[in-house]
């Protein structure tokens, strides 16, 4: 289901942003993931005057990861501003602003620093529409830089998506490509529902040749297919399916390249939209290959990966040649920087799991 | 935000009253109290007012309007408690004894202004104009909130403590960014002032200088825990100065004082003076809910003492003595209260009629594929039951 197909399109979008995006990127020049997010925010501020951005250090500094760089200068301190250092306050104030006809896009500085806001998110952001029988929708985006692989200290590397995915009323997106970073953030901001938008920290500096101006034009002309509820085939293959999302997509792609050298063809499915989940694309891939491994950085117990395994075996049991396996973070608190490599899924660990998919049978 | 010097932020408003910023922010030495428990008007010296904390008496018409809402509120509380005893409603947190606070919180606002109530603030929600049976939807267990918050500018009654204060801040902030003159009253109780969101909401409101009135009904207990276990502050109103906002204490069983204090607070907020914290001293005459046993934590003598401070009797005595309330007017007011009570009784006697398939309708703007599957599952179950 794409946002463009829903009945509650963002009514505030009026102006076009092609010129803004054009300034940000020339055709097919390498663009970072972070710049794509920054451009998406700028374009949303341009086309929709109800969009406001706030959080900790997002104003003058431009965010600790510079995702809001230049926005206060360009759009003014009423559109992009710093708040007191209080996450529950940031989310709670955003709820009230969304109640009063604005579209807040707020930043939680790091995954684990979003926990003080959990009550506001679980009890209000997620439930207000339902509580009021649809009368009080809360269009808002909570951006959360998440996951590890960047040598971060404690509380800076959590993969906390399961808490939010478990909470009905929230949509949960996580892009893994530069184009998706732009398009999915635009889509999240235009969504009539609250979206928790997980940005893999290790991808902020990754580059791809992407024409952001063209993407902006296509998005605003509704020519791009929506990504909400749509998984993406990141690499086509025929022997087994690697199902993954966010920071683990690049690891899965690396594993697929290594496997190809051995003559094994692995398909990589990037879930992108954890909620709503695309059973169709995931199921079609597994039915085609007959084997699957689910990969995620988060601890595996009671995780999004567990949910995907359950859904795949419920829907694809008769197509499966082997049990669906998981390669996830260990069930331990996130380790200190020098030890994180032992915790995180690696290409080697993924290939070991692929080896166990009962190829002899 | 600019880096303006905080010491100057209140110079304008304190100059207006001819007092220092600190004296503007600190509550008056005594709580504001205009009427004695017997309804007689206190002398100027006894009212608790002081320079910069002056409260002119509300007009007779305004007092009569408030008194009518007070009588209706008392009747609603007692009717709902009766409905719970008769087993026709699961739960009702009564504000019996606190009706003057309830009425003042809603009546001080103008049409475009917003009210953020808690679960105990049924009477305030009714006074804001919400239809009686729409308020009762949650207590009869039909749905969590039965009214349209945008139609009444009244947020859902909050069950979690103080989370709604931040929503109030957000509504005020959005209005301010659009240049609208909206004032927001955000209600909570004494126990709730211990919550983290109380702090965050007051701090955000003060930093962004938003027109929010934080209205604390200090009814002395958080279920069973007395105020002394919640706070060691000189008063809850004193907490205001720590955030850089003005605080005031008022007798929460004195409707005249409440109308005066809340009316001035709304005027100041609308003029751009920033947020205010008003602490109303009142008393919860009944248990926390019907599931609570208040004899385990307070003495009958304490409750009896507050019977003598009843807000309804006090206001009626004043209006009688002032010649503002003849039998005809009182009769009209009583009839109004009875009509509302009758609406509640009739409404509660009707069977709740909610389509179970609505459970999937409002989780998202459109049900997800997974929710559509679960909806079909339930629809099949219902069809089998009917067959």
B284-324 residue pLDDT tens: 999 888 888 999 999 999 999 999 999 999 999 999 999 99
- Asked if B167 lies within 8 A of A7 by C-beta distance, the reply is no
pLDDT computed for residue B1 by the predictor: 44
Query: Using an 8 Å Cβ cutoff, are B185 and B113 in contact?
Result: yes
The C-alpha of A321 sits at a distance from chain B's nearest C-alpha, in angstroms, of: 26
Distances (CA, A) of B203 to A86, A104, B160, B374: 10, 19, 19, 43
pLDDT computed for residue B5 by the predictor: 58
Residue A132, chain B, CB below 8 Å: the answer is yes
Q: Tokens for A354, please give them.
A: 């692929």
Instruction: Please tell me the CATH code under which domain A26-220 is placed.
Output: 3.40.50.970
Q: What angle do CA B271, B274, B279 make, to 5 degrees?
A: 110
Query: DSSP letter at B193?
Result: G
- On whether both B237 and B364 belong to a single domain, the answer is no
Chosen from A93, A124, A279, A304 to mutate, greatest number of chain B CBs within 10 A: A93
Residue B242, chain A, CB below 8 Å: the answer is no
- Which of the four pLDDT bands, split at 50, 70 and 90, describes residue A2? very low
pLDDT computed for residue A209 by the predictor: 96
Chosen from B1, B166, B175, B196 to mutate, greatest number of chain A CBs within 10 A: B166
In this predicted model, what pLDDT tens digit does every residue of B96-119 receive, in sequence order? 999 999 999 999 999 999 999 999
pLDDT computed for residue A5 by the predictor: 37
- On whether both B371 and B232 belong to a single domain, the answer is no
Distances (CA, A) of A314 to A196, A278, A300, A305: 27, 14, 19, 14
Chosen from B364, B368, B369, B370 to mutate, greatest number of chain A CBs within 10 A: B364
In this predicted model, what pLDDT tens digit does every residue of A45-91 receive, in sequence order? 999 999 999 999 999 999 999 999 999 999 999 999 999 999 999 99
pLDDT computed for residue A27 by the predictor: 60
- On whether both B79 and B175 belong to a single domain, the answer is yes
Residue B200, chain A, CB below 8 Å: the answer is yes
**CB contacts, 8 Å: A131 with chain B:** 143-145, 156
- On whether both B319 and B274 belong to a single domain, the answer is yes
Residue B112 lies in a domain: yes
Give the Cα separation of A185 and A78 in Å (integer). Answer: 21
Q: Tokens for A207, please give them.
A: 């580059």
Rg (CA), chain A: 20
pLDDT computed for residue A357 by the predictor: 96
Task: Give the range among B134-143, B214-223, B331-340 with minimum mean pLDDT.
Answer: B134-143
**CB contacts, 8 Å: A275 with chain B:** 368
- On whether both B331 and B370 belong to a single domain, the answer is no
Segment B57-71 shows an average pLDDT of: 97
Count the domains in chain B. Answer: 2
Please give the residue of chain A at the shortest CA–CA distance from B177: A78
- On whether both B108 and B219 belong to a single domain, the answer is yes
Find the CATH number of the domain harbouring B193: 3.40.50.970
**CB contacts, 8 Å: B203 with chain A:** 84, 86, 89
Residue B58 lies in a domain: yes
pLDDT at B160 over 50: yes
pLDDT at B41 over 60: yes
CB contacts < 8 A (A, B):
150
- On whether both B143 and B213 belong to a single domain, the answer is yes
- Per the model's pLDDT, the better-predicted residue between A174 and A1 turns out to be A174
Would the ipTM clear 0.90, i.e. be above it?
Answer: yes
Residue B64 lies in a domain: yes
- Asked if A89 lies within 8 A of B1 by C-beta distance, the reply is no
Residue B201, chain A, CB below 8 Å: the answer is yes
Query: DSSP letter at A53?
Result: E
Give the Cα separation of B260 and B257 in Å (integer). Answer: 5
Segment B241-261 shows an average pLDDT of: 97
* pLDDT averaged over every residue in chain B: 94
**CB contacts, 8 Å: B150 with chain A:** 99, 135-136
pLDDT at A22 over 80: no
What is the CATH T-level fold of the domain A232-355, as seen in this structure? Rossmann fold (3.40.50)
Which residue spans within A224-330 are E strands per DSSP? 232-235, 240-244, 266-270, 273-275, 292-299, 325-329
Active-site residue set of B: 284, 288, 297
- On whether both B267 and B369 belong to a single domain, the answer is no
Chosen from B158, B208, B356, B365 to mutate, greatest number of chain A CBs within 10 A: B365
Residue B129, chain A, CB below 8 Å: the answer is no
Task: Give the range among A227-236, B132-141, B202-211 with minimum mean pLDDT.
Answer: B132-141
Residue B175, chain A, CB below 8 Å: the answer is yes
In this predicted model, what pLDDT tens digit does every residue of A113-125 receive, in sequence order? 999 999 999 999 9
Distances (CA, A) of B172 to A125, A204, B215, B220: 18, 35, 15, 29
Residue B112, chain A, CB below 8 Å: the answer is no
Q: Which of B166, B369, B370 sits opposite A89 (nearest CB)?
A: B166
Q: Tokens for A301, please give them.
A: 């117990």
Q: Which of B1, B155, B163 sits opposite A92 (nearest CB)?
A: B163
Query: Using an 8 Å Cβ cutoff, are A107 and A55 in contact?
Result: yes
- Asked if B363 lies within 8 A of A169 by C-beta distance, the reply is yes
Residue B223 lies in a domain: yes
Which residue spans within chain B are E strands per DSSP? 114-116, 184-189, 212-218, 221-222, 225-226, 246-251, 276-281
What share of chain B has pLDDT > 90, as a percent? 87
pLDDT at A354 over 90: yes
| Residues paired with B280 in a beta bridge | B217, B250
**CB contacts, 8 Å: B166 with chain A:** 88-89, 91-93, 95-96, 120
Segment A279-283 shows an average pLDDT of: 98
pLDDT computed for residue B4 by the predictor: 55
- On whether both B179 and B67 belong to a single domain, the answer is yes
Closest by Cα among A271, A326, A302 to A160: A302
Q: Tokens for A57, please give them.
A: 């250090």
- Residues 153-212 on A with a CB inside 8 Å of B are 168-169, 171, 191-193
What share of chain B has pLDDT > 70, as a percent? 97
Task: Give the range among A118-127, A217-226, A297-306, B211-220 with minimum mean pLDDT.
Answer: A217-226
Please give the residue of chain B at the shortest CA–CA distance from A100: B171
Q: Before A276, cis peptide (omega within 30)?
A: yes
Q: Which of A124, A156, A166, A343 is catalytic?
A: A156
- Residues 75-94 on A with a CB inside 8 Å of B are 77-78, 81-84, 86, 88-89, 91-94
Residue B169, chain A, CB below 8 Å: the answer is yes
Give the Cα separation of A230 and B11 in Å (integer). Answer: 56
Segment B210-234 shows an average pLDDT of: 95
Residue B290 lies in a domain: yes
Give, to the nearest 10 degrees, the angle between helix B369-386 and helix A279-289.
100
**CB contacts, 8 Å: A130 with chain B:** 144, 362-363
Distances (CA, A) of B150 to A91, A184, A352, B29, B384: 20, 30, 56, 39, 39
Residue B1 lies in a domain: no
| Residue-range domain boundaries for chain A | 26-220, 232-355
- On whether both B361 and B329 belong to a single domain, the answer is no
**CB contacts, 8 Å: B363 with chain A:** 129-130, 168-169
- On whether both B137 and B221 belong to a single domain, the answer is yes
- Asked if A1 lies within 8 A of B167 by C-beta distance, the reply is no
- Asked if A78 lies within 8 A of B177 by C-beta distance, the reply is yes
Residue B61, chain A, CB below 8 Å: the answer is no
Q: What angle do CA A178, A183, A186 make, to 5 degrees?
A: 130
- Asked if A129 lies within 8 A of B197 by C-beta distance, the reply is no
- Which of the four pLDDT bands, split at 50, 70 and 90, describes residue A28? confident
- Asked if B173 lies within 8 A of A137 by C-beta distance, the reply is no
pLDDT computed for residue B349 by the predictor: 87
Residue B361, chain A, CB below 8 Å: the answer is yes
Residue B4, chain A, CB below 8 Å: the answer is no
Residue B32 lies in a domain: yes
- On whether both B364 and B229 belong to a single domain, the answer is no
Residue A6, chain B, CB below 8 Å: the answer is yes
- Asked if A276 lies within 8 A of B370 by C-beta distance, the reply is yes
Question: How many CA atoms, within 13 angstroms, populate the side-chain half-sphere of residue B363?
Answer: 19
Domain extent at residue B82: 6-349
Query: DSSP letter at B179?
Result: T
Segment A168-189 shows an average pLDDT of: 98
Residue B136 lies in a domain: yes
CA pseudo-torsion sign B354, B357, B358, B363? positive
């Amino acid at each position: 289901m794409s946002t463009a197909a829903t009945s509650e399109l963002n009514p505030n979008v009026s102006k076009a942003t092609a010129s803004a995006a054009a300034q940000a990127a020339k055709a097919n020049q390498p663009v970072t993931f972070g710049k794509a997010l920054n451009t998406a925010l700028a374009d949303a501020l341009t086309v929709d005057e109800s969009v406001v951005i706030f959080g900790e250090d997002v104003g003058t500094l431009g965010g600790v990861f510079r995702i809001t760089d230049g926005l206060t200068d360009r759009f003014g301190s009423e559109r992009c501003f710093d708040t007191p250092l209080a996450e529950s306050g940031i989310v709670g104030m955003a709820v009230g602003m969304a109640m009063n006809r604005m579209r807040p896009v707020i930043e939680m500085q790091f995954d684990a620093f979003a926990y003080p806001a959990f009550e506001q998110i679980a009890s209000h952001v997620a439930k207000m529409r339902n509580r009021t029988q649809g009368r009080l929708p809360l269009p808002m985006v909570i951006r959360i830089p998440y996951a590890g692989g960047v040598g971060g200290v404690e509380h800076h590397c959590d993969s906390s998506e399961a808490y939010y995915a478990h909470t009905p009323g929230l949509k949960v997106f996580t892009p893994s490509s530069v184009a998706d970073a732009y398009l999915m953030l635009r889509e999240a901001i235009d969504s009539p529902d609250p979206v928790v938008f997980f940005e893999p920290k290790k991808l902020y500096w990754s580059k791809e040749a992407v024409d952001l101006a063209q993407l902006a034009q296509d998005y605003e002309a509704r020519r791009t297919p929506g990504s909400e509820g749509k998984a993406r085939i990141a690499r086509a293959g025929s022997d087994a399916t690697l199902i993954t999302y966010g920071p683990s997509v690049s690891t899965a792609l690396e594993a697929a390249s290594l496997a190809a050298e051995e003559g094994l063809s692995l398909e990589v499915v990037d879930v992108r939209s954890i909620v709503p989940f695309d059973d169709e694309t995931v199921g079609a891939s597994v039915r085609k290959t007959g084997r699957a491994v689910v990969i995620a950085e988060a601890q595996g117990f009671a995780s999004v990966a567990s949910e995907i395994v359950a859904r795949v075996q419920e829907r694809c049991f008769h197509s499966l040649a082997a049990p669906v396996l998981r390669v996830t973070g260990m069930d331990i608190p996130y380790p200190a920087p020098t030890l994180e490599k032992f915790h995180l899924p690696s290409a080697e660990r993924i290939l070991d799991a692929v080896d166990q998919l009962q190829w002899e049978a | 935000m600019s880096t303006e010097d905080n010491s100057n932020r209140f110079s304008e408003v304190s100059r207006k009253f001819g007092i220092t910023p600190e004296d503007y922010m600190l509550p008056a030495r005594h709580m504001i109290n205009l009427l004695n428990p017997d309804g007689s008007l206190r002398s100027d010296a006894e009212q608790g007012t002081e320079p910069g904390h002056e409260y002119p008496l509300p007009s007779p018409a305004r007092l009569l309007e408030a008194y009518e809402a007070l009588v209706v509120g008392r009747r609603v509380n007692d009717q709902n408690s009766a409905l719970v005893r008769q087993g026709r409603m699961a739960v009702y947190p009564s504000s019996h004894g606190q009706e003057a606070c309830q009425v003042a919180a809603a009546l001080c606002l103008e049409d475009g202004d917003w009210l953020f109530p808690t679960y105990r603030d049924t009477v305030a929600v009714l006074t804001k104009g919400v239809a009686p049976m729409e308020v009762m939807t949650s207590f009869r267990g039909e749905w969590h909130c039965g009214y349209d918050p945008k139609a009444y500018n009244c947020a859902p009654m909050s069950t979690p403590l103080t989370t709604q204060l931040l929503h109030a801040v957000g509504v005020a902030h959005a209005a301010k960014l659009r240049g609208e003159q909206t004032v927001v009253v955000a209600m909570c109780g004494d126990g709730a002032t211990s919550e983290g969101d109380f702090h965050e909401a007051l701090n955000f409101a003060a930093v962004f200088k938003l027109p929010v009135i934080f209205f604390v009904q200090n009814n002395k207990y958080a279920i069973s825990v007395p105020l002394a276990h919640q706070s060691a502050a000189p008063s809850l109103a004193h907490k205001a100065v720590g955030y850089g906002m003005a605080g005031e204490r008022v007798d929460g069983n004195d409707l005249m004082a409440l109308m005066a204090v809340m009316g001035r607070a709304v005027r100041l907020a609308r003029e751009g003076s920033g947020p205010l914290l008003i602490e109303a001293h009142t008393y919860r005459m009944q248990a926390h809910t019907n599931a609570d046993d208040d004899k385990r934590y307070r003495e009958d003598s304490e409750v009896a003492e507050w019977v003598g401070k009843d807000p309804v009797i006090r206001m009626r005595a004043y209006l009688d003595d002032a010649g503002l309330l003849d039998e005809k007017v009182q009769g009209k007011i009583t009839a109004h209260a009875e009509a509302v009570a009758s609406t509640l009784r009739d409404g509660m006697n009707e069977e709740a009629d909610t389509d179970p398939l609505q459970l999937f309708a409002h989780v998202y703007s459109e049900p997800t594929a997974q929710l559509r599957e679960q909806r079909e599952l339930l629809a099949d179950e219902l069809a089998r039951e009917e067959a």
